[in-house]
Amino acid sequence: MNITQLRYIVEVARTKSFTKAAMTLYVTQPTLSIQIKELEKELDHEIFKRSKKEVEITKFGASFLEYAQETIKRYEEFMADDEGENMRLDLGLYWMFGYSGLGELLNHFKIDHPKIKVRYAVDGARDLIERVMTKKIDAAIITGCYADDNDREYKEMKKIFDMTLLDISPLVLLANKKSDLANRDMIALDDLDDRPLLHIAKRSNMFTTVDNYFKSHDIHPQIIGHSSQADICFQMAFYDISYAFCTKETYDSFATHEAIRAIPIVPSIERQLFFIHRKEDADKAIQIFKEYLIQNFHA
């Protein structure tokens, strides 16, 4: 649960519409819906009854609305109580953060909140999780690949971390347009058997999902190495050295890829993007950054 989710609840209750609330909050409707669904799952109660005509608040939702309004009031009083002291935030970033538009957002945050001094650590998701766990950094933006809320690793992480879902992007296969798989409208991981492949970096959360599929289905690509760096992945496909993986979001944001195709993978493998921090650690700097991130991040 976070303050931004509470703001979303209050605005949807006021407008009785997800569409109108999204417009007044300057967020996309999917972002708004995902955040409220996440909160409802956490609370194990429906807050709103959704219909084509109008959004209605449930009995539980009406009680929770009072809590949300009071919490927001107290939070704003807390945030206004600024003695002018500098704050510090040690923030971890996953390797490919620049392709999600996060670089620009971080720059704006520095300008908008000059009293918060941010120090960065860039690494793979698993290393960042470990750093947050051991309190070497305060928080991190990481990738994940969790099938659903029943995923064992995801459930264990949610016991320790406050996890805010920011974005979802499907994994695609990068292929040179002259390669033998380039004419496919979609591709299965089984099709990579005995084909050259630059595999995902082992310290990425995406690696385990793909590698477990290869092992369980007895698929043996010709692994030429491991990397999650976009420029290396694109070079492998551009020069037709091997196939490689990236997200659809990364492919769309890359400057040029005339010689490369991004082929959808079936069944779809989705990369999720999370902001995490330890549940017991929710100091002022973390709260300010988290609210800023949720309100301003648009992948």
pLDDT for 138 beyond 80: yes
Q: Which pLDDT band, with edges at 50, 70 and 90, does 82 fall under?
A: low
The answer to whether 205 and 215 have CB atoms below 8 angstroms apart is no
- pLDDT digit string (tens) for 200-219? 999 888 898 999 999 999 99
Q: Which pLDDT band, with edges at 50, 70 and 90, does 83 fall under?
A: very low
Q: What is residue 291's predicted lDDT score, i.e. its pLDDT?
A: 86
pLDDT for 87 beyond 60: yes
Q: What is residue 256's predicted lDDT score, i.e. its pLDDT?
A: 66
The answer to whether 66 and 96 have CB atoms below 8 angstroms apart is no
CA distance 292 to 4: 9
Burial track 107-133 (b if 16+ CB lie within 10 A, e otherwise):
eebeeebeebebeeeebbbbbbbbbbe
Q: Report which listed range, 61-70, 76-85, 95-104, 187-196, is most confident.
A: 187-196
Q: What is residue 203's predicted lDDT score, i.e. its pLDDT?
A: 86
Tell me which residue of 181, 163, 192 sits closest to 279, measured CA to CA. 163
Looking up tokens 């769309």, which residue turns up?
Answer: 252
Mean pLDDT for 32-55 is 86
Q: What is residue 31's predicted lDDT score, i.e. its pLDDT?
A: 80
Q: Of 18-27, 63-72, 198-207, which gets the smallest average pLDDT?
A: 18-27
pLDDT for 299 beyond 80: no
pTM flag (> 0.95): no
The answer to whether 56 and 48 have CB atoms below 8 angstroms apart is yes
* Helices and strands in the chain: count of H runs, count of E runs: 11, 11
pLDDT for 84 beyond 50: no
Q: What is residue 281's predicted lDDT score, i.e. its pLDDT?
A: 81
In the chain, the amino acid numbered 92 is G
Sign of CA dihedral 261, 264, 269, 271: positive
Sign of CA dihedral 107, 108, 114, 120: negative
Q: What is residue 233's predicted lDDT score, i.e. its pLDDT?
A: 94
Domains and CATH numbers, the chain: 3-80 (1.10.10.10), 87-167+272-296 (3.40.190.10), 169-269 (3.40.190.290)
- Mode of pairing for the β-strands spanning 222-226 and 196-199: parallel
- pLDDT digit string (tens) for 97-134? 877 778 888 988 888 888 899 999 999 899 999 999 99
Q: What is residue 262's predicted lDDT score, i.e. its pLDDT?
A: 94
- pLDDT digit string (tens) for 230-261? 889 999 999 999 999 999 988 988 756 789 99
